[in-house]
Amino acid sequence: MAEQFDVVVLGGGPGGYASALYGASAGLNIAIVEEARIGGTCLHRGCIPAKELLQTAEVLRTVRTAKEFGVDAGQPTVDLATSLARKQTVVDRLTKGLEGLLKGRKVTVYPGTGTVVDAAARLVRVSDGTEITATSLIIATGSAPRSIPGFDFDGERILSSDHVLTMDQVPGRVAIIGGGAIGCEFASYLADVGSEVTVLEALPSILPGVDKQVADVVARAFKKRRITVETGISVTGYDRGEALTLHAHRGDETGDLEVDAIVVSVGRRPRSENIGLEASGVTIDERGFIAVDDHMRTSVPGVYAVGDVVPTPALAHVGFAEAIVAIKTILGEPVVPIDYDRVPWGIYCHPEVSFTGLTEQAAIDRGYDVEVSAHRFMGNGRALIIGESDGMVKIVAERGTGVILGVHIAGPWATELIGEGYLAVNWEATAADLGALIHPHPTLGELFGESALALTGRSLHG
């Protein structure tokens, strides 16, 4: 006899555990099936460990520039073993916290791999043979690093993001294939800890999808930091010897690059295979994502999907938001669908990048009459005080109404600053609304006020 719940969740990452926590707090009886530890990619192979290692890089930069502040801390050296141990302590603490929360809310966690036996009956089998049924099934099986032909991961010299996060030696020369979010974070990290880094990006610029002016700030900063960025590149393969000889071309021009390690960061693939969905009636698109509507409903009634396994931004906080939408739908409550255009993004390279809403180009492409205002950190007191004056806050607004369509930041603590931008974009605030707010002085956030005021045709320091 199968065990019976209100909701069974397949996968215990941000989409899955948020479904369980939110659902349980609404009184639902919930089961999660998870094959590893609770926390998923975000906690074990993504956001948290990556940002922890990037913090090691930040401390290094601080010590390296300490003399400018009158502090002689000597020449810093890096001990990755200690850095990895600290990372693990943070991960373990957060994992234990999550396990405690789930237990406290009486969520039943089934360790093992879950397979959908009958989607229409929401019947799931765990690898130990246990069968579970529920009124609703939420699939939250996440994603895994994508490779490219000829570059199969070996975990030693051909690395995915998973491998970089457990690397205890700094490689001498590294090629990073793909200059997106992960590629730029790792380029920044590896350059700080001492690798010679080359980023090989297929498109004309790194960070495609990021506002051009903001992505250019990172490209220029990388150049200053001696991170080589090659764009418009196709990699074709590599030869293994003492070193790796990577073969690439840009149009007709071919070239080789000798490196000690290759990191492949060309995106992630959804984990929708081998979980019993093939003959389930759940529609999967041509890229392997589970198709859902704006209530996270799949093509089979009672079956929902959230997080990286659906074709929406692969971000933990999007998984959280989708979990809430799925649970509210299950509860029959009204739902405000997620506006994916406005999702806040954060990329933790140095300088950091964050954005929400439309880029200048996307707003133009959608037919808006656009006006923009960009203010640089070099005119900001706090930025000069902390010695981080590279970058800008850029606001994209509709001319005439002043409605803020997008906010784009490169620079210090950009990922912490974006909250205000998100509030403005999501609230459909105008530049005048934002310009009228008091921004404490001296703070980095003052640039919001300056940029918004400038859009009203008047300004203070701008």
Our answer to whether residue 163 is catalytic in this structure is: no
Inter-residue contact 408 to 213 (CB < 8 Å): yes
Instruction: Name, in order, each residue with C-beta under 8 angstroms of 77's C-beta and a sequence gap of 6 or more.
Output: none
Closer of 288 and 313 to ligand NAI (Cβ): 313
Beta partners for residue 258, in sequence order: 245
Closer of 189 and 345 to ligand NAI (Cβ): 345
Residue 253 neighbours by CB distance under 10 Å? 9
Closer of 47 and 119 to ligand NAI (Cβ): 47
Residues that bind ligand NAI (CB under 6 A): 148, 177-183, 185, 200-203, 208, 235, 265-268, 313-315, 345-348
Shortest approach of ligand NAI to residue 208 CB, angstroms?
Answer: 5
Helix ranges (DSSP H) in 167-311: 181-193, 212-224
Between the two ends of the chain, the Cα-to-Cα distance in Å is 70
Closer of 205 and 456 to ligand NAI (Cβ): 205
Closer of 44 and 122 to ligand NAI (Cβ): 44
Shortest approach of ligand NAI to residue 129 CB, angstroms?
Answer: 34
CA torsion 333→337→342→348, rounded to 10°? 70
Shortest approach of ligand NAI to residue 146 CB, angstroms?
Answer: 7
Shortest approach of ligand NAI to residue 285 CB, angstroms?
Answer: 17
Quick one: how many helices (H) and strands (E) in the chain?
13, 22
Residue nearest to ligand NAI (CB): 180
Inter-residue contact 449 to 439 (CB < 8 Å): yes
Q: Which of 152, 150, 204, 210 is nearest to 185 (CA)?
A: 210
Shortest approach of ligand NAI to residue 177 CB, angstroms?
Answer: 5
Q: Which of 302, 343, 18 is nearest to 135 (CA)?
A: 302
Inter-residue contact 170 to 80 (CB < 8 Å): yes
Burial readout 333-347 (b: 16 or more C-beta within 10 A, e: otherwise): eebeebeeebbbbbb
Inter-residue contact 404 to 380 (CB < 8 Å): no
Q: Which of 156, 163, 228 is nearest to 191 (CA)?
A: 228
Shortest approach of ligand NAI to residue 147 CB, angstroms?
Answer: 10
Closer of 203 and 338 to ligand NAI (Cβ): 203
Active-site residue identified among 44, 439, 441, 461: 441
Closer of 232 and 379 to ligand NAI (Cβ): 232
Instruction: Name, in order, each residue with C-beta under 8 angstroms of 85's C-beta and a sequence gap of 6 or more.
Output: none
Give the largest Cα separation in the chain, rounded: 71
Shortest approach of ligand NAI to residue 97 CB, angstroms?
Answer: 21
What's the chain's Rg over C-alpha atoms? 23
What are the residue numbers of the active site? 441
